[in-house]
Amino acid sequence: MNIALLKIGRIIYAIPFAIFGLFHFMNAGAMAGMVPLPGGVFWVYLTGVALIAASVAILINRYARLACQLLGVMLFIFALSIHLPGVLGAADEAAMALSMTGLLKDIALGGAAWAIADTFAPQTGAPAA
């Protein structure tokens, strides 16, 4: 395994999640309508914190394995609770395509989070041997 490529790949994977997390704070009001639970803005902010925390954990190699595992779970929850209903209940083809894009993106990123989790050692978050 090429360690340099692995480290670069982890960085490239982590940075967008920090940006997504910032977007949750910048656009909380607009995103709150997508949340399928009461207290929409609270969940948007909590999700923003979780995305930034996962990104930081990956970047500094601390609790990175756990962060990736939980990130994967969160992304699959998003796929099933936000995007899948959008696909199934879309009013037109354009709305369905937009929801399908989000569904497939979150499934792919969730799977990648779990694959990346396996590159970190279980206890320390340091790279696996």
Structure confidence by residue, pLDDT tens digits, 6-32: 999 999 999 999 999 999 999 999 999
Note the pTM of the prediction, 2 decimals. Answer: 0.89
pLDDT classification of 37: cutoffs 50, 70, 90: confident
The fraction of the chain above a pLDDT of 70, given in percent, is: 95
Distance between CA 128 and CA 84 in Å, rounded?
35
Kindly compute the dihedral angle of the four CA atoms of residues 58, 128, 123, 117, in this order, to the nearest 10 degrees. Answer: 50
Structure confidence by residue, pLDDT tens digits, 74-108: 999 999 999 999 999 989 999 999 999 999 999 99
- Whether 129 shows a pLDDT value over 60: the answer reads no
Delimit the domains of the chain by residue range: 3-117
Structure tokens at 104: 């497939």
